[in-house]
Amino acid sequence: MSLSNDQVSLIKTKAKEIRISIIEMLAEARSGHSAGALGMADIFSALYSVILKKEDRLVLSNGHICPVLYASMASAGIMSKEQLKTLRKFGSTLQGHPHREFLPILETSSGPLGSGLSQAVGMAIADKIDNKNYLTLPKRFIYCLMSDGELDEGQSWEAVLLGAKEKLVNLIAIVDRNNIQIGGNTEDVMPLSPNGASLFDKWKSFNWYVQEIDGHNIEAINEAIIKSQTNLNRPSVIIAHTVPGKGVGYMEGRFEWHGIPPGIQDVSGAPKKEKQVEIAIENISS
């Protein structure tokens, strides 16, 4: 079902609110990951505004971007916005990586990169066993949000193989293709597209239904999800091209902001640390 203009406008507005919350949370915590969380705000806004149903499950494999998850949950009324200020505080429900013992509403705990898709595959297989009609009418969808950097991990590809073998039509993976990881650009650290073979081609060769989109285009996000939900012969993956640090000019596209928050240190090419938070919020709000 296509989105109305009002729905698109709402999702974009919420994405801005989510990005501002991310900056405020990280600034308060004085630690955490900025770039990936900001880059995924449009996708999370769409998921929590119009796509996710009550019975669906969401697995955040790249747990370090959890500020975008927490901010999206607050935007959807699942938790209070006041709670966001406790990010990474001792004993907080909002740990620096998602932790079910502290926040039981989560589907999984995450942190070790590469394990999320395996967990999601397990959930999807369990649903396949429980629901004899899952090929024609999945009772719910399992969404697995992943980073491109974690595709360096062999476990990810073991899960890809198993998902294809089991024809998990109820599984939708979304890869944040932002081209950075903590040590630099992905293609410098560990090329994901060697010898001219694209990441699209790689997933396709494993017999997944593959789409490639602009991860900041709300209509494209929604359309890709719909196509994935109606593809009833294999698991789906959406490769979403995003800009790390999206919305904050001095962070955009820079791996240096992968693992640091604004306001704690001077970074080459960025405003002085005393002005970073203020300028970030101004950028997002404009």
Q: What is the pLDDT of residues 54-79, one digit of tens each?
A: 999 999 999 999 999 999 999 999 99
The whole-model pTM stands at: 0.95
CA 116 to chain centre: 11
b (16+ CB within 10 A) / e for 183-214: eeebeeeeebeeeeeebeebbeebbbbbbbbe
Q: What is the pLDDT of residues 208-254, one digit of tens each?
A: 999 999 999 999 999 999 999 999 889 999 999 999 999 999 999 99
* Domain range annotation of the chain: 5-285
For 5-285, give the CATH class.
Answer: alpha beta
CB 197 within 8 A of CB 170: no
H/E stretch holding 117:
helix 116-130
CA distance 115 to 151: 10
Query: 136: Cβ–Cβ under 8 A, 6 or more apart, which residues?
Result: 232
pLDDT score, position 111: 84
Q: What angle do CA 157, 163, 164 make, to 5 degrees?
A: 95
